[in-house]
Amino acid sequence: MQVGIVRELSVFSFGRLMAAWNCTPTVYSQSMPQVVVEPVIRWAGSKRKLLPQLARYWRPEFKRYVEPFAGSACLFFRLHPECAVLGDINQELMLTYRQMKANVGAVITELAGLRKGKRIYLRLRRTDPNSLPPAARAARFLYLNRFCFNGLYRTNEAGQFNVPYSGRRCGNLPEPVELRAVARRLRRVTLVASDFEDVLRRVGPGDFVYMDPPFRVNGRRMFTQYDSTAFKHTDLFRLRRWMEALAKQRIPFLVSYAGSEEAQFLSDGFNTENLKVRRNIAGFTERRVLFDEVLISNITPGEDVSC
């Protein structure tokens, strides 16, 4: 559905719309426990430490959650919305989500044959993902993601994943019970492997949009210089145009971004909330400093209703 085509929806027409999106509303009892599902993917720049603040922007009346820069999708898993669209331009990431959703048993079987270690990591890193069947390809991504340095996704000029091994600090591979829990959570999710604009074109009335784009901050070294998925300066202007379009259509959105001149450009005319978050420098836990984070929205936050 194109944005703005439907101005008002009757109860009947909204039900048909939800069915078309595979999002038929489910009624829950107040006494029904909410199962907490943790992300199984590590992602540089993840907003896990800001989840209580981010969750305050979600409201029970929202019908669908849309996230065009999914990454680890930590806010999606925190909120557990009944209906969602998750998108990302990273093809390997989205293939992995698709395989966890549709074929989690095969992914678990593939991971069971892998052991933690630098030798296996380097072998998988050298392997062309296009040469693998889908479940093995997803297992490869999960393995590299779990044991790579700082949850980075970076490729060289040839498009080959080249992040070094850092298995000592990363724990173990996701357990089968964790993967199956993620698979259940993804059942009612539409997955889109594409540019963020392709995801935002799907937005309609009743949606809530959360955007956490990769930082593009002048004066800071980026670790995705050769990556085709890297966020470019011109992408900031595209993002800003979409923020204005969503606001014009009165579709609620939330953007999180590093405190910077770029954040000032994105936030002009919108509500802002400035936060401090403690992060590791270059992935080393002994070097933690406070960084500025800016939340930008066309709505005001309320209480955290995700718990």
Q: Is 167 strand, coil or helix?
A: helix
Q: Are 219 and 262 in contact (CB under 8 A)?
A: no
DSSP symbols for 38-67? ------TT--GGGHHHHHTT--TT--EEEE
**Tokens coding 203:** 């937005």
Query: What is the location of CATH 3.40.50.150 in the chain?
Result: 34-90+188-297
Q: Model's pTM, two decimal places?
A: 0.85
**Tokens coding 46:** 């993840």
Spell out the residues 6+ positions from residue 73 whose beta carbon is closer than 8 angstroms to its own.
39, 41, 67, 86
Q: Which residues pair with 65 in a beta bridge?
A: 84, 208
* pLDDT of amino acid 44: 86
Sheet architecture: strand order including 253-258: 189-193, 84-88, 64-67, 207-211, 253-258, 284-297, 271-281
Query: What is the location of CATH 1.10.1020.10 in the chain?
Result: 94-176
| Cα–Cα nearest to 70, from 217, 266, 229 | 229
* pLDDT of amino acid 150: 87
Q: Over the stretch 136-173, which tens digit does the pLDDT of each residue have?
A: 999 999 999 999 998 899 998 888 999 999 977 788 99
Using 70 as the pLDDT threshold, list the residues of the chain that sit under it: 1-34, 216-229, 279-288, 303-307
* pLDDT of amino acid 304: 62
**Tokens coding 204:** 């309609």
Count of positions (residues) in the chain: 307
d(CA 201, CA 3): 7
CA 246 and chain centroid, separation: 19
Instruction: Name which CATH class applies to 94-176.
Output: mainly alpha
**Other beta carbons less than 10 A from residue 22's beta carbon:** 11
* pLDDT of amino acid 265: 96
**Tokens coding 63:** 């019908």
* pLDDT of amino acid 74: 96
Q: Which CATH code, of 3.40.50.300, 3.40.50.150, 1.10.150.530, 3.30.300.30, is assigned to 34-90+188-297?
A: 3.40.50.150
